[in-house]
Amino acid sequence: MIDRVAAIRSRLEDGLQPSELQINDDSHRHAGHAGARDGRGHFSIRIISPVFDGLSPLARHRAVYAALGDLMQTDIHALAIDARTPLESQ
In this structure, what CATH number is given to the domain that contains residue 21?
Answer: 3.30.300.90
The CA distance from 33 to 19, in Å, is 33
pLDDT of residue 72: 93
* Confidence check: pLDDT of 86 > 80: yes
What's the number of domains the chain is made of? 1
Does 26 fall in a domain?
Answer: yes
* Confidence check: pLDDT of 44 > 50: yes
Band of residue 32 on the pLDDT scale cut at 50, 70, 90:
low
- Residue 29 · residue 60 · CB < 8 Å: no
Does 89 fall in a domain?
Answer: no
Q: Which domain, by its residues, includes 44? A: 4-84
Does 49 fall in a domain?
Answer: yes
Q: Lowest mean pLDDT of 21-30, 36-45, 81-90, name the range.
A: 36-45
pTM for the whole structure: 0.88
pLDDT of residue 90: 83
